[in-house]
Chains A and B, each alone.
Chain A
């Protein structure tokens, strides 16, 4: 099947094609989900190496169970549920590392530490600096969220999942998901309050 046709297929169709031996269908699925999933895992685990391992494990499980996927749930929901469960298990094992390390590579792809990011200011570009500061503050505030609120916030904001889908993934009611989302936003408001006026100016 041609690449264009594959990209127009739904997630479930792609998995079905892979189960029938269409390797390129899996390539499309990986391309579709690896960044959002990795972002979710990174924001939850706060460790790149572990997040990559968890991402790989989540895809391997999808590959293993491609034959038995019944299509009663959306593939996206199923995949995120696998990733979330893997993440929770990993977080339980790594409970002693609660806080972001100032020495470990943090966040984005450049591999710079949080200390480097905070210290490296570009005096020539205030706009960029403020944006970067806001981003750093936002990441810090997201990291400070409780796990249940953070996962709801990330699933909603990073992956644009519906409340109902998030409720399926996290195995709680939809109202609980809404409450957690609201609490998460209120906490982030407190962290970003001083930037609100400035951010308005930057629009």
Chain B
């Protein structure tokens, strides 16, 4: 609805509140009033608003108690007095007032929520960076992981010094522990990459051993092949070690402790002529060549008599451990003890299960080595007694190696039935070496199972799979 003045009801109603509150200009107010007088909708609404406003305007003002006014005026007096005192007080307090005010400002800044949030953020980031494997701890844990990996892969019984440092049962001498720490500390800068590179080099060198590992259906047979290698060539044990990742930790010791060079020289001198590790096949050939020919005696196959080899090995081990002992004593500033303490703490903090597992592995490796050594020197009873538990309860390459040596030992002694209990297992693998197949076939033939012998010979006649 539009009034003659041209104002719509909507516009009028919007302006009514301003009209009753005297917020409109004279001209606009007159126009709104003119519209409201003639409009049936806007007129009554204007009346209601005016009445409500008038009724509410009669609200009496309330008075506070007189004490309030007195307190306010008292505060006003004190305010004037304070302003008068203020500059004089500041001047009299001088620098201390300024310092106090500065500390007060600093305190208020330090206690602000923004600073608190920033501090928490920095703390979280710091902890995060510390926890990430970038720092020293991370490198140490990587080193530990590499050591574990190297132990598992190499599988060789650790040298006396190394095993003494690794197994709490061995109760190592402080000097040996210091040596272990020194080795760790010296090889640490080399980093994980060097350990990996050494691993790969070892893998290449032991390619033939790897082949046998696959043949026996074991992923980790590198360890045992290296063990057999060492046992067969005990005259130069350090050579095999020098080729394995563990050996990389010995060199820094020699460098770190020059006094130990003479002791280490013997071991390394014996190591240098050593060729890369021989394959398990070669080893088994060494051991079982005469057995295949039906001959039991095999003392001539070894380059040196067993006692001599054992003696050499022991001396080599001594040479392996001696330098560190001497080096520890000869270390000019005795840096090793300082490093030994964290190492000891590290060893002590290792999980119990992990150390027990390591210990069991070391024991098994030692028994395997001793068993094989016993068989090599013709002590079948002792060798079999040592290898049987491994063949029945061991795992992986240890078990396969023990079974193979046991089978050949039994076959040598003419117990083909007993040997077949192991050969049956060994020949189940698709890639069983030809020599093993032939040995098993021979046992079957001797026990009257010509069909089985024929089958195995047929398998052996097949071209070798790569």
Could you list which residues of chain A lie within 8 angstroms of chain B, going by C-beta atoms?
Answer: 18-19, 21, 23, 26-27, 30, 34-36, 38-39, 42, 51-52, 55-56, 59-60, 63-64, 66-67, 107-109, 134-135, 138-139, 142, 153, 156-158, 162-163, 178, 181-182, 185, 188-189, 192, 195-196, 199-200
Q: Assuming the A-B contacts A23-B77, A162-B23, are A34 and B68 also in contact, with contact meaning beta carbons closer than 8 angstroms in the complex?
A: yes
Contact residues in A for B83 (Cβ distance below 8 Å): 19, 21, 67
Contact residues in A for B63 (Cβ distance below 8 Å): 34-35, 38, 109
- Determine if B61 is an interface residue (Cβ-Cβ < 8 Å): yes
Interface pair A138/B56, CB less than 8 Å apart: yes
Shortest C-beta distance, A20 to chain B (Å), equals 9
Contact residues in B for A138 (Cβ distance below 8 Å): 55-56, 59
A36 to B59, CA, bound (A): 11
Interface pair A199/B61, CB less than 8 Å apart: no
Q: Assuming the A-B contacts A56-B71, A63-B75, A163-B21, are A42 and B52 also in contact, with contact meaning beta carbons closer than 8 angstroms in the complex?
A: no
Interface pair B23/A21, CB less than 8 Å apart: no
* Chain B residues numbered 310-347 whose CB sits less than 8 Å from any CB in chain A: none
Shortest C-beta distance, A149 to chain B (Å), equals 12
**Contact string, B56-79, partner A, CB cutoff 8 A, digits 1/0?**
111111111100110111011101
Interface pair A181/B64, CB less than 8 Å apart: no
Nearest CB in chain B to that of A42: its residue: B62
Nearest CB in chain B to that of A19: its residue: B83
- 5 closest A-B pairs by CB: A26-B76, A35-B61, A59-B72, A182-B17, A63-B79
Interface pair B17/A51, CB less than 8 Å apart: no
A60 to B84, CA, bound (A): 17
Interface pair A39/B17, CB less than 8 Å apart: no
Interface pair A38/B62, CB less than 8 Å apart: yes
Chain B contact residue count (CB 8 A cutoff)? 33
16 pairs from A and B in contact (CB 8 Å cutoff): A18-B80, A21-B83, A30-B73, A34-B63, A39-B59, A52-B64, A63-B75, A63-B76, A67-B83, A107-B62, A135-B58, A185-B52, A185-B53, A188-B55, A188-B56, A192-B55
Interface pair A52/B62, CB less than 8 Å apart: no
Interface pair B53/A36, CB less than 8 Å apart: no
A91 to B61, CA, bound (A): 21
Interface pair B52/A192, CB less than 8 Å apart: yes
Interface centre among B61, B62, B76, by most chain A C-beta atoms within 10 angstroms, is B62
Interface pair A188/B52, CB less than 8 Å apart: yes
Q: Assuming the A-B contacts A109-B62, A157-B59, are A26 and B68 also in contact, with contact meaning beta carbons closer than 8 angstroms in the complex?
A: no
Shortest C-beta distance, B32 to chain A (Å), equals 14
Partner of A199, one of B51, B60, B79, B84: B51
- Determine if B18 is an interface residue (Cβ-Cβ < 8 Å): yes
Interface pair B73/A55, CB less than 8 Å apart: no
A195 to B48, CA, bound (A): 11
A41 to B151, CA, bound (A): 83
Q: Assuming the A-B contacts A21-B80, A142-B56, are A181 and B75 also in contact, with contact meaning beta carbons closer than 8 angstroms in the complex?
A: no
Partner of B69, one of A34, A195, A196, A199: A34
A148 to B258, CA, bound (A): 89
